[in-house]
Structure 1
Amino acid sequence: MTDTTMRPLGLRERKKLKAMRHIQEVALDLFDRDGYAHVTIERIAAEAEVSPSSIYRYFGTKEMVVLWDEYDPIMLKAFDDRLAAKDPIAALREVLTDVVTTAMFEQDERIMRRRMYYAMEEPSIRAAMSRQGDDMALDLRRTIAKHTGRDPDGLELRVVTAALISAFMEALAYWHETGFRDSLKEIVDGALDVIERGLRVE
């Protein structure tokens, strides 16, 4: 990981990150035991020994307790850094390889697999993930536009970023549906290969 993607965190940021990780793990334990639909924010708060207002402040919704990923802003920053020298597909491939399949999986693969189960199996979380994908696409459009001078609301960047986000989402779905049989790096690389060759079926 580069210095730009893994800058040192201040004490306040470290404490917040530690609290959010703890809450997410507690919530996943409760969901595994009692079922997602039967666990409230209040129960998560009580088990995690925090206030419900803290959970709402950190995550916003119960769905985001599952979907929250500390690496999302790191990936966007890394993508921004790499776009200065690479095309969007090459930059995203490098970021996903660097961040997702190195830093994330050395530390957090077990948590990510548990999160993916709920993201794929719970309709409300899957819908929230779709909305999150729309937000990510907008962030990517703005980042690419900054480096290329293209219109962030133009058709070209809309299509490019929608294709990239959809490819990543489908890679996650495939990874889950195949029982995590193959590495996510291989799956993501394969999905980006399809985009890069122009969506031709070979």
Structure 2
Amino acid sequence: MSSATPEETPAAAPAAEAGLGLRERKKLRTRQAIRAAARRLIDARGYDATTIEQIAAAAEVSPSTVFRYFRNKEQIVLRDEDYAFTGAELLRARPADEPPLVALRAAVSAMVRASYEEFNAEYRWRMELVRQVPALRAQMHEGQDKAVEVLTAALTERAGHGKDRLELRVVVGALLGGLHQVVLEWGDHDQKGDLPEMFDRALTVLEEGLTPHTPHTTPG
């Protein structure tokens, strides 16, 4: 079975490069080459035994080039597209009269489903590594902290000052934490089952029990 991810296949390359200038296309191809090399080595040697130097040699670039594109080895595996900002844009596009949790659920659900369906095989590979490798789990938690900040800011901006920022932050954190637990459960059962449907079930649980309210105000 080929280890190439969808973003590295010939069919996917033109779509990924559409609208990019020559410089941006070269950068994208370098990133793809580094990722493809990393996956080949990790599949063959294991995550811990694979070094940045080995990845650089396999991708025919220097270690300094690898570090120019990726902060560390964990970031090579955990695709660097900033899903938090994508989720924030989807959130801002939701109807203005939707309750915060309803809008957040719709935005995150759309983002997760699109990611999973577009990069199914790669997503499964990454999530299995996350389940196995503590360093990857730590990196993912760091990314979740950033996502909480970005999505809370988008919710606060969308809701205005009538909603308590702390409550919104708690809701966002609970939602992302719940999704992380779904991924772990999915991995514990050999990645069987419809992951987007499992996400939706988790979001339903959270929506039924976590509804932020407008703080009471004292009449003037």
Query: Which bin holds the TM-score, normalised by the shorter protein?
Result: 0.7 to 0.9
Q: Which residue of 2 aligns with 1:3?
A: none
**Which of the pair has more CA radius of gyration?**
2
Q: TM-score, normalised by structure 1?
A: 0.82
1:42 and 1:52 in contact (8 A); partners too:
yes
Pick closer, same or farther for the CA change 1:10–1:129 going to 2, 3 Å.
Answer: same
Deviations 1:82-120 (A, max 9, x none): 264533433343334433323x34431111111111111
Structure 2: gaps spanning 5 or more residues: 1-15, 211-220
Is 1:10 the counterpart of 2:8? The answer is no
1:24 and 1:66 in contact (8 A); partners too:
yes
- The whole-number CA distance in structure 1 between the counterparts of 2:48 and 2:208 is 42
Deviates more, 1:153-162 or 1:170-179: 153-162
- The whole-number CA distance in structure 2 between the counterparts of 1:42 and 1:109 is 29
Q: CA RMSD in A?
A: 2.6
Q: TM-score, normalised by structure 2?
A: 0.76
Q: Which residue of 2 aligns with 1:35?
A: 46
Q: Which residue of 2 aligns with 1:194?
A: 205
- Give identity over the alignment, percent: 36
- Partner secondary structure for residue 37 of structure 1: coil
Q: Please report how far the alpha carbon of residue 162 of structure 1 lies from its aligned counterpart in structure 2 after TM superposition.
A: 0.9
The one of 137, 158, 183 aligned to 2:148: 137
The one of 88, 94, 99 aligned to 1:87: 99
Pick closer, same or farther for the CA change 1:40–1:150 going to 2, 3 Å.
Answer: farther
Q: Please report how far the alpha carbon of residue 187 of structure 1 lies from its aligned counterpart in structure 2 after TM superposition.
A: 0.7
- Partner secondary structure for residue 10 of structure 1: coil
| Pairing 1:1-202 to 2, within 5 Å after superposition | 9-11=19-21, 12-70=23-81, 72=83, 73-82=85-94, 84=96, 86-102=98-114, 104-150=115-161, 154-198=165-209
- The whole-number CA distance in structure 2 between the counterparts of 1:171 and 1:88 is 22
Q: Which residue of 1 aligns with 2:12?
A: none
